[in-house]
Amino acid sequence: MSTTPPKAPWPHPLFAREGRPFLVIFAVLAMVTTAGAGWLWASPFWLLTVFVLQFFRDPSRHAPAGEGLVLSPADGRIVAVEETDDPWLNRRALKISVFMNVFNVHSNRAPVDGEVMETWYNPGKFINADLAKASTENERNAVWFKTTEGKDVTSVQVAGLIARRILCYVEPGAKLRRGERYGFIRFGSRVDVYLPTDARPLVALGDKVKASRDVLAQL
Q: What residues are labeled active site?
A: 189
Measured between alpha carbons, how far is 54 from 173 in angstroms, rounded to an integer? Answer: 33
Yes or no: say if 118 and 174 are a contact pair by the CB < 8 Å rule. Answer: no
Mode of pairing for the β-strands spanning 107-109 and 189-195: unpaired
Measured between alpha carbons, how far is 209 from 108 in angstroms, rounded to an integer? Answer: 13
Closest to 108 measured CA to CA, from 51, 43, 155 = 155
User: Where does the chain have alpha helices with state H?
Assistant: 20-37, 39-55, 134-137
Biggest CA-to-CA distance, the chain: 63
- Lay out the sheet containing 166-168: strands in order across: 107-109, 181-185, 166-168
Closest to 212 measured CA to CA, from 112, 68, 95 = 112
Closest to 175 measured CA to CA, from 148, 195, 156, 149 = 148
